Structure 1
Amino acid sequence: MEQPVILSKLEQEALLHAIEAALPVREARQFFLWTQGQMQALLPHQVMVCLRFGADDELVHSSCLHSGVLDVAVRSRLADPADGLALRLARHCRASLQLPASLAAGDGTAPPSLQAFQAELRACGVDNALLHGTARLPGGASCFVLFGLPHAARARQAYFLALLLPYLHLSWQCVSAGIGAGVARADGALARPVSAREAEILYWVKEGKSNDEIGQLLGISGLTVKNHLQRLYRLLGVSNRAHAIARCGALRVLERPRPALASAA
C-alpha cells in the first residue's frame, strides 16, 4: 500500500497560491507567467511541453514553455509536434495507462517500456521527466510533460502534478483554443468559418507548398499568402503551419474536395 503524501505548511501555501493564480488564466502570456512562476515553487523544471488532443485523440495544439535559453535543436527533439519526445512519451503513457509517469535518464529501475526513452533524455541534456494528463474527454484531452527537474521525480512530485492537473487542463484548453483572444468559442468551434480562399491556401500548405508556390498556383503574391496565413493562425489559435493543419484536421476543415485554382485574391 502506498504511503499518503502529507504536505508541509509551506507546500500547502505554495499549492494554494498556484491554484489562486491559475483561476484568471485565459491568455497565452498569463499561462506562461503562471507555469513559469507560481507552479515552479512546487514543481521546478526547465521545460514544459503542453499537448492538447482532440476528440479522436489527434494532436490539436502543442506549446513548449521555458524561461531560460533552450537550444533550438533540443527544443525540436523535445517538442516537435510531429515526432517529439514529449508527444511520444505522452502517447505511450496514455495508451498504457501509466499516468502520472516519471523518468530519470540514469535510473536503472525504470519500467522496461520506458527505458527506450532514457537515452533520448540524456541526449537532450535533461536528466529527469515527469508527465501527467487527463483521460479522453468530450472537449479534448490534455497532457503536460515536464523536463529538467532538479532531481528524479518521485511520488511527491507526481502528487503535486496530479493536484494541479485540473487547473493546467482548464487553463490550457482556454489558451490553446484561443478563447481569451476571442478567436474561438467555448465549445471549441471557430469564431467564423474558414473562407474559400483560406481553404485553398490550407490545402496547398498541407501539400507542402511554400508561400511563393501557393501564390503562383492561385495567381496572388507570396506576401498575400503570408497575410492570409497570419489571419488563419489567429482564427485557429495556432502559431505555425503544422499546428494549423493539425487544428484544421481536428475541426475537419480540410475534409472538403480539393479547391479549384483561382486568379484573384
Structure 2
Amino acid sequence: MDDSVLLSPRSAECLVRAIESAPQVRRRHQFFVWLQSQLHSLLPHSVAVCGAYQRSRRELVFEVFQSTMLPADLLASLADARSPLMTGLLGHWLAARGRAVLVASDTAEAVLGPAILVHGVSRPQRPAELESFFVFAEPERALSREHLLHLELLLPHLHATYLRVQATELELNNLPPPLAPRLAGAASPVTERERQILGWVREGKSNQQIGELLGISPLTVKNHIQKILRKLGATNRAQAVALAMTRQVLLNTGPPPLE
C-alpha cells in the first residue's frame, strides 16, 4: 500500500465502529445490513460479492449482496467461481501478491463502475488456495486508493465475520443455494403489492411518500409493512429489505413501477 495514503480521523472512527459491531453479525441478513451500514462509508458499494471455500465442493462458493439491479448474465458470472469474470479478478489479485487491488472494469462489466475492488485471504504459504474472496463495486462513485487502504484494514474482520455467518447458517440448516433464481410464479409469502411497497422502502421512501406514490393512505402503508415484517420474520424495515433481497424477493424490482 502507498504510504502516502493515510487514514482520516473520520475513517478511523468508522473503522472502529465496524470492527466493534462485527462480532454481533451471525446471520446472512445481519451481514447484509452490516455491509450497507457500518462498512458502506469505508467501502462504498452497490454490489458486494463474497466467497468462502467449501471443502465439500473443493472450490470457492460465491453469493452476491446487491442494492441495485444487475443483468442476469452478469449476476450469474459474479456468482460463478469458474466464470471468466471471477477467474480474471482472482488473477489480478494474485498478480498483486495478495494485496487489495482495483481492477479496471471491462466493457462487459461497465455497469459495475469504472473499477472493481477485490481482496481475499489465502492459506499460509499457498497464495493460490483461497479461504475467502471479496469483490466490491459502485457504479455511481469511483473507488480510490483510500478504499484500498480501508479494505486492507477491514479484511481480517470481513473474513472472520463472513465465515461465522456461513457456519451459523449451516448449523441452523437454513442455508439456501446462493443466488438460486426466483422462478416466475414461484410461491412467495409476499404479495405483489407488498413487494412493491418493499421496493419503495428500499429506495428510502417514508410511509407518507409511499402512500402518495401509490394513492393509498400512510396508515394502509404502515399496515402492509407490519404484514411484511411478520411474513419475513423481520423486526424492522432495514432487516425486512435485507431478508427480501437475500431471498430474491426484490430481485426483479426497483424502483417499483407506479400503477
What does residue range 1-265 of structure 1 map to in structure 2 within 5 Å?
2-54=2-54, 58-83=58-83, 85-94=85-94, 97-105=97-105, 118-122=106-110, 124-136=111-123, 141-148=131-138, 150-176=140-166, 178-180=167-169, 182-183=171-172, 234=173, 237-239=175-177
Q: Secondary structure at the match of 1:7?
A: coil
In the TM superposition, residue 15 of structure 1 has moved relative to its aligned partner by 1.1
For the residues of structure 1 that align with 2:134 and 2:76, how far apart are their CA atoms?
16
Aligned pairs, number: 177
Deviations 1:9-55 (A, max 9, x none): 21111111111221211111111110122111111111011111256
Aligned in 2, Cα 1:149/1:43: closer, same or farther, shift over 3 Å? farther
Aligned in 2, Cα 1:84/1:147: closer, same or farther, shift over 3 Å? farther
Amino acid at match of 1:39: L
Amino acid at match of 2:134: F
Deviations 1:58-103 (A, max 9, x none): 4242110012333323312333344162344125523662521102
Q: Secondary structure at the match of 2:48?
A: strand
For the residues of structure 1 that align with 2:37 and 2:95, how far apart are their CA atoms?
31
Aligned in 2, Cα 1:95/1:103: closer, same or farther, shift over 3 Å? closer
For the residues of structure 1 that align with 2:64 and 2:96, how far apart are their CA atoms?
24
Amino acid at match of 1:147: A
In the TM superposition, residue 160 of structure 1 has moved relative to its aligned partner by 0.1
Amino acid at match of 2:144: R
Question: RMSD over aligned Cα, in angstroms?
Answer: 3.2
For the residues of structure 2 that align with 1:173 and 1:92, how far apart are their CA atoms?
23
For the residues of structure 1 that align with 2:150 and 2:139, how far apart are their CA atoms?
13
Deviations 1:142-180 (A, max 9, x none): 11011225444332111100111011101111222x325
Q: Equivalent residue for 1:186?
A: none
Q: Secondary structure at the match of 1:17?
A: helix
Q: Which has the higher strand share?
A: 2
In the TM superposition, residue 57 of structure 1 has moved relative to its aligned partner by 10
For the residues of structure 2 that align with 1:89 and 1:59, how far apart are their CA atoms?
16
Deviations 1:106-153 (A, max 9, x none): xxxxxxxxxxxx23322x453220011112159961110112254443
Which deviates more, 74-83 or 11-20? Answer: 74-83
Q: Contact (CA 8 Å) 1:48, 1:65: kept in 2 or not?
A: yes
Q: Secondary structure at the match of 1:6?
A: coil
Unaligned runs of 5+ in 1: 106-117, 184-233, 243-265
